[in-house]
Amino acid sequence: MASVAIVKGHSPVEIVVKALELVEADKAFTSEERILIKPNYINASHPSTGNTTDARVVEGTVKFLKERGLGNMAIGEGSGLSDTKRAYRVAGVDEVAKRWKVDLIDLDDDEYVIADVPNYLALKTVRISKIALESAIVSVPKLKLHRMAGVTLSLKNLMGVVSPKGQIHHNLNEKIADLASVVRPKLAVIDGIVGGEGDELAGRPVKMDLVIAGLDPVAVDTVGAAVMGFDPKRAEHIALAAGKGLGTCDLKRIKVIGEPIEKVKRDFR
């Protein structure tokens, strides 16, 4: 049974650390491997809009891992609709990287390689960031809806490591599941400090003051969808990823630690 933590509070760094403690997140990694923390900066809007990852959630993730001796890490994103470095500055992630002495990488500037997709549904090969391919991924998305995929959480967030991103949009759900089988996150941390309703760029913020975390990204996204009042079964890529053996999307087989879904749930429009 997969374990997913929901922690609510008013100190984003502290609730991230608490959530990661609850799921024993450090056990997913070894000291030898390089960790890539992958936030969502689809554009350079401030996290308060509900569009992009809160820098404090990134910081809580870095703090937790660093304090457990996992110092070989970087923060990396390839923005879809903005200059990535500008998006980092607007969100304040550049200051987090300086404070914790962590590399801050624009994946759009990385070397890209062609990777084969095992047991592919729609994506036979993918052009992917070499750093992402060679790293253990921590996906740190925003809690928000998506006009095509239903929700955009830890699995959909992986689009930032491919180029061109347009290669994913046709047969989107199948390709998200395919991509996750190449760079399956070892840890997912959903930023639900301020969620986003409407769609991924609507800028309609929903104050939630919570984070959702776990070692099974499919289970984390399932819980994230449920917290938004969105039936996880309607987010086809989540079920497809489960079908590929990447995790569980059955709420009955997910142990929610901390706050129960029904206590924090809010129907996103």
Tell me which DSSP letter residue 34 carries. -
Which range (42-46, 111-115, 185-189, 196-200) has the least confidence? 196-200
What length does the chain have? 269
- Res. 166: pLDDT tops 80: no
Residue 148's pLDDT band (cuts 50, 70, 90): confident
Q: How far apart are CA 139 and CA 157, in angstroms?
A: 7
2-264 CATH fold: Rossmann fold (3.40.50)
Mean pLDDT of 193-209: 89
What amino acid is encoded at 132 in this protein? A
In DSSP notation, 238-263 reads: HHHHHHTTS----GGGEEEEES-HHH
Helices (H), the chain: 12-22, 55-66, 84-91, 93-100, 130-133, 172-182, 217-227, 236-243, 261-264
- What's 162's DSSP letter? B
pLDDT given at position 117 = 96
Q: Are 228 and 266 in contact (CB under 8 A)?
A: yes
Determine how many CB atoms are found less than 10 A away from the CB of residue 113: 13
pLDDT tens-digit series, residues 72-121: 999 999 987 789 999 999 999 999 999 999 999 999 999 999 999 999 99
Give the residue, 112 or 147, on which the prediction is more confident.
Answer: 112
pLDDT in tens, 232-269: 988 999 999 999 999 999 999 999 999 999 999 999 98
User: Considering the entire predicted model, what is its pTM?
Assistant: 0.97
